[in-house]
């Protein structure tokens, strides 16, 4: 995909943002790092984004916050799956990323796009604002350190509903692994923490954190309520094997 046809490009300070396409598959890159992927106009990507898609089924009228837009894969998937029943806010630090995402996506998002610092935005959110908060603020393979801090974890816990879920895309990069290990004690003081591999051959892990819901609660709800059980069979199988983070 690094050699696919360039669709659009922009400079964001020292960073180069690029949208490329090859054989119907489109990627959104920052300095060669893939931030988003879509396969034509289909919902599933075959990668970690798919493993976040079942989370809204746990709530009757889900309110979702995504930290980090990239090209917009997560809100695109969720809007295609849940339609008008879902409310999505996306916080993106870079206005250039938000603008170029329009060239990446096959259709305009209904989600509210907010240009702000993700950690600062969560700190300002009223208690119980969201049912799901997804942390995916990458432009390299390193998680920005503020998202593993005690301050952010406390803010996220406050911004979530009682049965809410804080979800991390956890990349197996040495710096990210070290940060998550540092933040794990803070997470475990606030939440039960569960992990799944997404997908098994990738370097991505999904951490799901909840004060109330167990891994079994999450897995059973996803399996019973997700509208496309056949299309998401691999994803739901991974939910069924989800385990407590060691």
Q: Which residues contact 4 (CB under 8 A, 6 or more apart)?
A: 20, 21, 22, 25, 27
Q: What are phi and psi of 162, to 5 degrees?
A: -55, -40
Residue 219 predicted with pLDDT over 70: yes
Q: What's the confidence (pLDDT) of residue 246?
A: 78
Q: What is the mean pLDDT of the chain?
A: 95
Task: Write the class of the CATH domain 43-244.
Answer: alpha beta
Percentage of the residues of the chain whose pLDDT score is greater than 90: 87
CB neighbours of residue 241 within 10 Å: 11
C-beta of residue 24 within 8 angstroms of C-beta of residue 40 = yes
Q: Which of 73, 80, 75 is nearest to 63 (CA)?
A: 75
C-beta of residue 183 within 8 angstroms of C-beta of residue 155 = no
Residue 165 predicted with pLDDT over 90: yes
Residue 201 predicted with pLDDT over 80: no
Q: What residue segments make up the domains of the chain, in order of their start?
A: 43-244
Q: What's the confidence (pLDDT) of residue 70?
A: 97
From CA 193, how far away is CA 220, in angstroms rounded?
A: 17
Helices 233-240 and 215-225, axial angle in degrees (round to 10): 160
In tens, the pLDDT along 50-90 reads: 999 999 999 999 999 999 999 999 999 999 999 999 999 99
pTM: 0.96
């Amino acid at each position: 995909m690094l050699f696919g046809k360039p669709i659009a490009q922009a400079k964001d300070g020292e960073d180069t943002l690029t949208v490329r396409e090859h054989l119907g598959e489109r990627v959104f890159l920052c300095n060669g790092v893939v931030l988003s992927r879509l396969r034509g106009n289909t919902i599933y990507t075959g990668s970690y984004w798919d493993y976040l898609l079942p989370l809204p089924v746990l709530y009757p009228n889900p309110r979702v916050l995504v930290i980090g837009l990239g090209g917009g894969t997560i809100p695109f998937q969720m809007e295609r799956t849940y339609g008008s029943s879902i409310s999505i806010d996306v916080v993106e630090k870079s206005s250039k990323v938000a603008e170029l995402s329009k060239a990446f996506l096959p259709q305009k998002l209904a989600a509210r796009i907010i240009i702000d610092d993700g950690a600062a935005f969560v700190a300002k959110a009223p208690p119980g604002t969201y049912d799901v908060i997804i942390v995916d603020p990458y432009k390299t393979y390193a998680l920005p350190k503020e998202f593993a801090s005690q301050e952010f974890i406390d803010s996220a816990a406050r911004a979530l509903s009682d049965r809410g879920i804080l979800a991390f895309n956890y990349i197996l990069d040495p710096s990210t692994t070290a940060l998550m290990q540092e933040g794990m004690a803070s997470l475990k003081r606030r939440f039960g923490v569960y992990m799944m591999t997404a997908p098994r051959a990738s370097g991505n892990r999904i951490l799901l954190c909840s004060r109330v819901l167990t891994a079994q609660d999450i897995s059973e709800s996803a399996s019973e309520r997700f509208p496309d059980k056949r299309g998401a069979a691999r994803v739901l199988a991974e939910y069924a094997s989800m385990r407590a983070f060691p």
